[in-house]
Amino acid sequence: MMKINFLLFLITLNLLFSCNLFFDKEEEKDNKNRYPIFNAKVSWRSDTKFNSHFYGVQNGKHLYSYENISVIAEFQYDLKKSLFRVMKLDIETGNVLWRSDNLPKTANCSPVLSDNKLFLLVDDDLLYCLDADNGNILTVIKINDNFSNHRIEQNLISHNNFIYFGFSYRNIYLDRRITGISRIDINNLVYDNITEPQTIEPEMFWESKYNSRVMSLPVFKDNIMYFMTYTDGILNIANRDKTLEFAAINTDNKEILWYKEIFDDDGSGHLLINDNIIYMMNTNVSAFNLTDGERIYIKSASGFSPMRALGSVFYNNKLYYTNGNFSVRGEGKNPNVVSLNADDGSLAWGWLDYDCFSLGVVPLITNDKVYLPLEYGFTVLNAHTGKVLGVDRNFYGQGIFGVIFQYNNLLIYPNRNKDGYSNYIAIDISE
C-alpha cells in the first residue's frame, strides 16, 4: 500500500511539474509571437568587443568608439593590461580602420571630436587627445593643481574649437567652491609632447549663482549655448526647493542673452532645440521661446517622464524618447517608448514591450518608422500610432545608453552577445 501511495505521489508531482513546464513554454511562445515578425537584414558585424555605457561619435561614414581590452576583478586596474582603447570603424563595411594604444585608465565620457582630434575624459580628470586619422596619442591634459578638489562632469561637448564641460573646484584664494561651465581652447594646446601631461587652466565660461552642477549636455544654435543646472530634487528631499538655472550665452563674448530661475523642475533630463523652441525634458516637459527664454507651456509627465532619458528626437511635430519604465511578463503599467505632441506636451502614444528592461536608447526615426534595439529584440514601430510593425528576436540591444547611428540605409547599434559584451551591427533598412 505504501508503495502504491508513493507511486501515486510521484505521478502527481510529475504531472504538476509537467503542467508548469507546459504553461511556461506556452507563455514564452505567446511572448515571442505576440508581435509581427521583422526579419532584419544584417549588412555586417564588427570584430569588436565592448561593454561601455558611453556611446561613440559619428563623423560621416566613420564611427569612433571604445573597445574593452580587459576587466580586472574587483575593479582593480592592471596598468599592463589596459581597460580600454579607441577604435575607428568604417560604417559602410564594418572594418576597423585603426585601434589606439591601450589606455591605462577608465573612460568617463563619450569621445568628443573637434578639429580632427578625439578628446577623451578618463580617471583622475585627465584628458587624452588622439589623432582621428590614425589613433596616435597627441597629448594628455591635466588641470592645474590651483583648481583644488576639481571635478569635470561627464558631459564634454565641442563647439568652434572649444571643449566645454561642467566644472567645479575650490578657489584657494576666495576660500569657496565655484561651480559652472568651463572650456578649453584646443588651439592653445601643445600636441607634440606626450612624455608627461601638459598642465592647463580651463577658462570659467559661466558660474552658477547657486553653486549648482551642470550635468546635462548643453545645446548650441548660431553660436549660442543653452544649458540648465541640476538640482537633484528627485533623489534628494533636501533639494526639492532648489532653484534650476536655465540660460542662453553667446559663446563669442560670453554675453548672457537671458537667464531664468525655475522652481518646478529638477534638471535631470536633457534639452532639445527645434526651430525657435527649446524643449526641457526633465521630470516635466516644458517648451520655451528660444529668443527670450519665456516658457510656452509645462506639462506633467507623470508615468512617462523623460527624466534621465539619454535624448529625444523631434519628428513631424512630435517628441520621441525612451525612459526607465520596465515590464516583466506584461506586469508593467507605464510606457517606456513615448511620443508627445510638441505643441502642448500631451501624450500622443506610449508603448511598453511585454518583457522589457529600463531603456536609455535614443530612438531613430526615418520613413515614418521608429527603430529601437531593445533588450529582447530589434523593434520597429509606426511613428504616428505606436503600433508594432515587427520584432526580430535574434538581436539584443545594449538596453541602456544605446545610440543608433545612421548612414544612408544602414542603422548601426551595439548588439549584446551572450558573454555580456557588445559588438556593432549594421542593419539594412532599404526596401
Using the predicted structure, report yes or no on whether residue 410 has a pLDDT greater than 50: yes
26 falls in which pLDDT band (50, 70, 90)?
A: very low
* Distances 246 to 2, 213, 218, 347 between C-alpha atoms, Å: 79, 12, 11, 25
407's grid cell: 548612414
CA 338, 341, 345, 348 torsion: positive or negative? Answer: negative
Report the predicted TM-score, pTM, of the whole model to 2 decimal places. 0.86
Of 315 and 284, more confident: 315
Q: Give the mean pLDDT of 199-213.
A: 94
Predicted confidence at residue 32, as pLDDT, reads: 54
49's grid cell: 568587443
Residue position matching grid coordinates 571635478: 151
Using the predicted structure, report yes or no on whether residue 414 has a pLDDT greater than 90: no
Of 82 and 349, more confident: 349
Predicted confidence at residue 272, as pLDDT, reads: 97
86's grid cell: 579607441
Fold of 218-300: Thrombin, subunit H (2.40.10)
What confidence tens digit (pLDDT) does each residue in 60-73 have?
999 999 887 654 43
What confidence tens digit (pLDDT) does each residue in 317-359 have?
999 998 866 555 555 577 888 999 999 999 999 988 776 665 7
Residue 352, CB-side half-sphere exposure with 13 Å CA sphere = 20
* Distances 325 to 232, 284, 400 between C-alpha atoms, Å: 20, 16, 12
What confidence tens digit (pLDDT) does each residue in 290-322 have?
999 999 999 988 777 776 677 899 999 999 998
51 falls in which pLDDT band (50, 70, 90)?
A: low
